[in-house]
Structure 1
């Protein structure tokens, strides 16, 4: 979370949302037009962590009025073909649902599955090393790509600094850690220049963006070679190319951010390259094929092994860019509920954009009660809009939800989805 932080936990339910929940304290650092008082200074309570939800509570509220409101909203023509579900986390009760078991196009809500699998298999503290080793020929070095698709200019500067004083004229890059196809057959090559995807290779500068570090900028068609060229330019080497890294002296190395931070960046920008890269990282760690179809199947296999209901679900990538993906709201909500109740997945919730605060939700919820309280993953494809996340209600209940609209214009559908999530906030 880039511009605010939340401190808190719970007994039985782990929540990280932009709000005060039990002993949690929301501190705004950049404004974003949220409706709340000026930042305050408080002494930390002792103990630091306090319950968000009372595990001894026995009464579950009457949700009937909320159900009627959600039914009315779900019938809004702006939502087209609409499916969804909302759950009260404390009781585990499904508060409302409409065809929650029907699989539909999820768009980037697919990234919820990818994030869960990465946290299960790698852990939130996972990092990726990018090393430079001696080449077989004098004056040659080889960058041993490790799967970091977010190499920054600062990281490249660091590598170059570590190589100072070496007599290097050739920089090669070894991408063999991901030996399989790097661009799925279900993706449109036009989307490379449009800024939505690139060949996913195990060393890339800011997800292959050209001219910046975030947003839908045009992407490079030669991501890994760009890394080799960037290092070569910094150290005055004249030749770049592909090569094989042998076991030898490591001359320079840098570490990526933790998986927890990378998931935050992936979710905030809905970065397709990062999603595919993280899935390939998981596959490589397990010795599995790294093409997108195989990593998608791996994701489903891992979720099934974790006891999740995958009835009707099929995906062919891990970013949601393909129109061939089909996911049920039930699966999305089941994962989110686990993230709200299991330590292992809690970083998934803190990675989600904040309504009218940051990322893909920054420009939404301006006049809605959900502003600052809803945290959710968005999804957008032609005639497809999704919103899946968590919100704390006025009454202190914590709801998870997954709403997906197909066959409807994007802008009106988004507005209707935001209004629906705000109904949960108003409870």
Structure 2
């Protein structure tokens, strides 16, 4: 009898706390002290698209990485789920007695994932495949150059409003004309006592001699990676500044390759020379060298597979490249500006209010991106029955910044993509009640307190909103 009474009491308390959490969850969140000086926007729709809860949903605010959902969904609409990007290897010129009098040309199709670590199983040893194709032509000498045509995409690698201290770091790899092996490298450091200079042991992959590392990193008292990597698009220097923990061996720091085209040229040339094929390095031009033969077409995974990884791991470079492709596919320049114009035009044509929508890049790295909560829920509403987007959202929900918010009790009830960048935190996706999806978007700009504290507050608010449905 006593056990039954305890069980009833426990269940009653559980219902009490659930009710407490759900009671006017949005109001409790808005009035939290840590949001006293913040700006926030919230929108929640019912399955039919009617807005049923909101707070400043027309206010234009920074979305951080949740803008990747806008980029992803627009790319699916414009390019198609099965779209694949193609990189083509050709030889140009004439082969005489094993000598290619001409050039080897790698033509980029703007594949953001070529050689990326997340797609190793897809690409396999693709560079070796290229080299073997050259050997199969009987070529033992190249009187010409290894060239890369990176004109598929245009403009700068990073949006003009990207912060300088983001550009050289791995997450600031941006959208170069040719993407290769994640567009990043890892520096291995060894450190001594506090205050002493660090030593660069190696980089992986090995950078060409034309790129100089300027190491100003010292050993300090702080834990973790406190290094900022500075470089400019197309530059030949990478500056490493900051501190690393003292007395460490092979401490790893990731940075963006400043000139991916030049790096890829050197990488392919070395792979060819390793097969004892000599290269003069003198480019051949003119009508005598116009003959060309396609050797290999290397295709990317289907777009939807790229988007699953993009949104789960929040890969900035994939999103930035896709924004340029959206511009190109819409008949505009393959630039950040062209892509931004195309995105706004597409959703305006679909009937959404694009006032207050300012797009600088596809990833959310620029702090000048601004969207409204109502616009984002409108975009999500348009995909509410799309099974491929559902799979993409399931992958996005597996990220640690999303999973940690809900707990087992709410598993399968909230699909979301998270976003965070310097005092900006946002979540976008679907709250699921009785099998029906409710598009939602919540962003907070300029909050006080820690990121972990804000994540907890936002999680509590969204769980409460779910319980109110």
Query: CA separation in 2, counterparts of 1:368 and 1:243?
Result: 63
> CA separation of 1:355/1:303 partners in 2, compared to 1, >3 Å: closer, same or farther?
closer
Q: Which residue number corresponds to residue 86 of structure 2? A: 129
**Bigger Rg, structure 1 or 2:** 2
Residue 81 (str. 1) matches residue 48 (str. 2) = no
Matches within 5 A, 1:24-423: 68-79=24-35, 80-89=38-47, 91-136=48-93, 138=101, 140-152=103-115, 154=124, 155-165=126-136, 166-167=139-140, 169=142, 170-211=145-186, 217-236=254-273, 248-341=292-385, 343=386, 346-352=387-393, 357-358=398-399, 360-362=401-403, 364-365=404-405, 367=407, 369-393=409-433, 395-408=434-447, 409-423=450-464
The verdict on how the C-alpha distance between 1:216 and 1:128 changes in structure 2, with shifts beyond 3 A counting, is farther
Cα distance change of structure 1 residues 168 and 280 upon mapping to structure 2, 3 Å threshold: farther
For structure 1, list consecutive stretches of 5 or more residues without a partner in the other structure.
1-62
Q: Alpha-carbon deviation of 1:298? A: 1.8
What displacement does 1:216 show? 9.2
Q: Structure 1's 234 and 314: CA in aligned 2 closer, same or farther, altered over 3 A?
A: same
More strand by share: 2
Closer, same or farther: CA 355–76 of 1 in aligned 2, 3 Å: farther
Q: 2:112 touches 2:321 (CA, 8 Å); kept in 1?
A: yes
Distance 1:368 1:224 in 2: 46
Change (3 A) 1:121 1:359: farther
C-alpha displacement at 1:282, in angstroms?
A: 2.3
Q: Does the CA contact (< 8 Å) of 2:58 and 2:373 recur in 1?
A: yes
Is the 2:131–2:272 Cα contact (8 Å) retained in structure 1? yes
Task: Name the CA shift for 1:359/1:138 in 2 (closer, same or farther; >3 Å).
Answer: farther
Report the CA distance shift for 1:130/1:82 in structure 2 as closer, same or farther (over 3 A).
same
CA distance in structure 1 between the partners assigned to 2:413 and 2:185 by the alignment: 34
Residues 308 and 334, structure 1, Cα contact 8 Å, conserved in 2: yes
Q: Distance in 1 between matches of 2:132 and 2:140?
A: 13
- In 2, the alpha carbon distance for the partners of 1:122 and 1:196 equals 25
Query: 1:360 Cα deviation (Å)?
Result: 4.6
Residue 175 of structure 1 contacts residue 224 of structure 1 at CA under 8 Å; is this kept in 2? yes
* Higher fraction of helix: 2
- Residue pair 1:141, 1:168 contacting (<8 A) in 2 also: no
Matched length: 357
| TM-score, scaled to structure 2 | 0.69
Kindly indicate whether the alpha-carbon contact (under 8 Å) linking 1:356 and 1:365 is maintained by their aligned counterparts in 2: no
Q: In the aligned structure 2, how far is the partner of 1:283 from the partner of 1:248?
A: 30
Given the superposition, is the C-alpha separation of residues 206 and 173 from structure 1 closer, same or farther in structure 2, using an over 3 Å criterion? Answer: same
CA pair 108-167 structure 1, distance change in 2 beyond 3 A? same
- In structure 2, runs of 5+ residues without a counterpart are 1-18, 94-99, 187-203, 206-251
Find the aligned partners of 1:121 and 1:186 in 2 and give their Cα distance: 26
2:73 aligns to what SS in structure 1? helix
Supply the distance in 2 between the matched residues of 1:85 and 1:261 (Cα, whole angstroms).
29
Q: Secondary structure in 1 aligned to 2:389? A: helix
Query: Is the 2:327–2:341 Cα contact (8 Å) retained in structure 1?
Result: no
Asked if structure 1 preserves the Cα contact closer than 8 Å seen for 2:81 and 2:304, the reply is yes
Please state how far the C-alpha of 1:305 moved relative to its aligned partner. 1.6
Give 1:125 shift. 0.5
Distance 1:240 1:207, change over 3 A: farther
CA 1:73–1:313: 2 relative to 1, 3 Å: same
Tell me the distance in 1 between the aligned counterparts of 2:440 and 2:380: 8
Give the conservation status (yes or no) of the 8 Å contact 2:39–2:444: yes
Judging changes above 3 Å, is the alpha-carbon distance between structure 1 residues 260 and 243 closer, same or farther for their aligned structure 2 residues? farther
Shift in alpha-carbon separation, 1:366–1:146, aligned structure 2, 3 A: same
CA distance in structure 2 between the partners assigned to 1:267 and 1:335 by the alignment: 16
Give the conservation status (yes or no) of the 8 Å contact 2:103–2:284.
no
Once the two structures are superposed, what CA deviation does each residue of 1:330-360 show, in whole Å capped at 9, x if it has no partner?
A: 111111111113x4xx533422365873365
Deviation at 1:383, TM superposition (A): 0.8
CA distance in 2, matches of 1:379, 1:276: 15
Residues 172 and 241 in structure 1, CA contact (< 8 A), matched pair in contact too: no
Show CA shifts across 1:126-177 (max 9, x none). 0011001113472521000110121116333433343333335432101122
